[in-house]
């Protein structure tokens, strides 16, 4: 990921950053799923806690990945568009006097 931005592969870096954000967000969302499930299961055993934890993370991860990947594909530019769109960021134009 870092190597991509250093090599001026901005669009590839962008895609990996969206994926990384989706994973981090799924960890936060896991808690929103886990706590209510924990309250529903009164007096859970260690096995039930482990199952609820894994199930809530899996649910959150699938939820966010199913949004992130289509978003990446929907907003992905062709190589020509990417080169034209990011050229001003990578190599600023010379100003005319």
- Identify the residue with better confidence: 87 or 3: 3
Section 35-62 average pLDDT: 93
pLDDT category at 46 given cuts 50, 70, 90 is: very high
pLDDT tens digits, 62-72: 999 999 999 99
- Listed as own residue / partner, the contacts of 84-92 with beta carbons closer than 8 Å and 24 or more positions apart are 86/10, 86/11, 89/10, 90/8, 90/10
- pLDDT in the model for residue 24: 94
Identify the CA nearest to 33 among candidates 59, 64, 7.
59
Closest of 35, 91, 32 to residue 64, by C-alpha: 32
Query: How far apart are the C-alpha atoms of 51 and 55, rounded to whole Å?
Result: 6
Task: Tell me the whole-structure pTM to 2 decimals.
Answer: 0.68
pLDDT confidence bin for 23, thresholds 50/70/90: very high
**Domain map (residue ranges) of the chain:** 2-90
């Amino acid at each position: 990921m870092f190597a991509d931005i250093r090599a001026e592969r901005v669009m590839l870096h962008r895609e990996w950053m969206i994926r990384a954000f989706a994973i981090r967000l799924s960890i936060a969302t896991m808690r929103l799923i886990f706590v209510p499930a924990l309250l529903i299961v009164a007096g859970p055993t260690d096995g039930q806690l482990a199952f609820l934890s894994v199930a809530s993370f899996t649910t959150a991860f699938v939820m966010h990945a199913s949004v992130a990947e289509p978003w990446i594909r929907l907003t992905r530019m062709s190589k020509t568009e990417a080169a034209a769109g990011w050229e001003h960021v990578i190599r600023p134009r010379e100003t005319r006097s």
